[in-house]
Amino acid sequence: MDIKDKTAIITGATGKLASQIVLSFAMAGINCVCIYNKNASQAKKLQTALKKLKVKSLFLQTDLMNSKNIETIFKDIEKFTSPQILINAAAVFEKKLLLDIDFQYVRQMLDVNFTAAMILSQKFVELARRKIKTKQKPIGKIINITDIVAQIPPAGFSVYAASKAAVIAATKSLAKELTPDFTVNAVSPGVINWQRGTSADLKKRMLARIPAGRTGSPQEVAYAVKFLVENDYVTGQVINIDGGRTI
């Protein structure tokens, strides 16, 4: 896909990884619809950066756990442009042991990490099929941001890992369902940003499991996402950006 002047929807746009994806897209000439929940200050910074890069942008603040909110933002998006790229990056990351979880916790984790991505994908496909009039295939790209814990789940992350594993399964199924109109892929980061409070000892032990011997960068994740947007012959794949952790 020739990405210049295309429009991408990026959820969780104010997060550390997604912010870099937004900037990477803007530098390549992609217009950005940035969906975020609470971080208004980061949204303002991104908006300023996109203006300097001379791309069009739309910032929408909403809670993706509410299906009516998703319907509302797509009405706003349709007024703005016809997007051909969807990046499902919004996520809740939290460690919680089995004896500490409750129904609400499980529901929230699944709703944000999986359910919202599915409904967003549905609305995106409906809009693209209605608005994009071209014989060239594919007409759109869906890229889901997952996590290597879906493949090697550590103790204490059962619900989070399961929610991301669901995203991987959906990615492969949707790739078959939506071809040739859409490609559907996933990017699965490993250790990119240390969680606040991570001890020096834990960092050392985690790095010892990574063949590359270091953490990754948000830019390296963004490069993988951009590759999948540009390449029309890759679908149903999960690209691990993990320094070899999963091999």
- Do 205 and 180 form a contact (C-beta atoms < 8 A)? no
Strand ranges in 25-125 using DSSP code E only, listed in sequence order? 31-36, 57-61, 85-88
Which residues share a beta bridge with 7? 31
- Do 37 and 64 form a contact (C-beta atoms < 8 A)? yes
- Preceding peptide of 138 cis, ω within 30°: yes
Residues labelled catalytic: 160
Q: Running DSSP on this structure, what letter comes out for residue 154?
A: P
- Give the span between the Cα atoms of 228 and 224, in whole angstroms: 6
- Give the span between the Cα atoms of 142 and 229, in whole angstroms: 8
